[in-house]
Structure 1
């Protein structure tokens, strides 16, 4: 079945679903409404949406097909007039499966009405068969449980990575590809998280170049990149996704994430590091991606280059109800280090500007954050090697931001990031000492120039 292009809008009492399904027979359209679930089926198209509130199919509802445009317009009545249906523009959220019911309630009406033969057969079913029957009563969604905190027993050498550690096998043949950002080499599939972090930091220390940093510190050509403002931070017009963005949304995976509070806490931190990399890329290209854009985004993101995701702090006890300054500083520390070790422009002031971009996007909410992720996905998908990071990270983040991310948490993080101070001392490369040496050298040069000028003036007076 094909998922068609569609859009949703609302009035005071109705929900309007516009579905693009050209060259169909209107008489064959099947529409089903069950509280929050809307289903439209006409061969070869199938659309199933989950709304935030119930809708009904009554006398005021209607379905019209326009053969000239190919659009089927379905008008549904809100169960509660005037109720606002939020996130109708987040298509991936509408397409997500209905949340699993954790404890389905079963009510026995009367034991006398149950046929004895059927009861005996039901009792003889295996536990697996009983679960399947329960799933059928519960919209055919099998129960899913969040795994325990203890890692599962691994019979092979492969370890998980990527979004919620759901992936493996994507780097088995990495030695035969030109993956210049992979810092784990051909052993990427067998290196555990703690070792990934050690290898990543060793690689950063090797790539750190004091002379490169000092040269960029004294030159003025980076000022245009530092003062540049991203359009998403400046734009105050009402938000509306483009046709290309809507088409990309429809191609995203349909998933429901059963993540723990700790995992959610860490996902927001990893999201910050991904947005920082995108901020650096957009500033250095002035919003016009080039051949090196995919390399830049991947290289500056620890979760991509070394499969090393957040958290990056060393606190033993973690309060997942808040984000402390030390936790956020540790997150940005890793992004700052990479921005000072790998790309062409290595400036602490540029890194600070990227942090402010991240703050602006978070404050504007999930739609702007989602648009940034779509841009990252577009950049990576066009690359013949780095598209893999879109598969194991960005695709899932796009879905998660739409369906699960909290506007309140994004706003809270945005405000904290805006006020955050990232000391140069936590980077680990003596940046302050290097800058003091630069200032001292500039003062000596200025004094030397003054002495030369005084000497020339004395010679002229003697003449």
Structure 2
């Protein structure tokens, strides 16, 4: 489970680092009601509560949590009067909003007509769900020869599509990856951002052996003998990094023998640990070995990043760890090759 959590966090960091494309994925959702409230349940896995944006204006409802965007044209009006309630089930990845109706007792008809709820008001023209903002944002030259940026706003009246779950039969034909090699279909709707998350072009259809071969070929292509020769003879910086003492080198076995904690956590880290739920998995010997070896691969990448940055994490740290780890970057199944 820890491997999957680490992978999810690193993938999210990589997604947020991507700035060229605005990816609008319509999430799975459903609506229900009672006489006084409308309940909206939205499935948004791999997102964080700190990045949820909500907009309520009568019959107009918008929800955004990158890369998910949902805009609904409701059959009735809802309001924000202090009695609304929002929750997020981290395990299921489900956001739930219970919003009061403007007219208590009113019945909202057509809540099951998902396509109608998704349609933009005043328009039925199809638009791309993925738009290259760099291509839209042009520049104009003024009479003085100075360039003036075009401040055209992003069109939020995007055409949306009803989300449909893949059948068990379809998921069964996809290649496995991730924690204990048990995940599939995770990247199916993120094709446009895959290059910012992993280096595998089509993970759902690429065999584990092909992913490993592609990684080895990419590493061989990127290898530069001149670069390593330069590091061999101009080694001042490398020697400085080798002298750096990472935090785990300061841990003493005698500390734990005395009953003292070898590792201390900040209040923020303790809060993150409290949010992690305890899960049990029935794994066979093969899956268990694969999970441990994959975790070791990620920890080695993390160790390199800590030493090379001398303990100072920065905006490129998640990218560095992902790039060095075949488990994260190439979804490699380590067990098959030991």
Relative CO higher for 1 or 2, CA cutoff 8 Å, sep ≥ 6?
2
- How would you bin the TM-score normalised by the shorter chain? 0.3 to 0.5
Give the structure with the higher percent strand. 2
Give the structure with the higher percent helix. 1
Larger Cα-atom Rg: 1
Q: TM-score, normalised by structure 1?
A: 0.33
Q: TM-score, normalised by structure 2?
A: 0.44
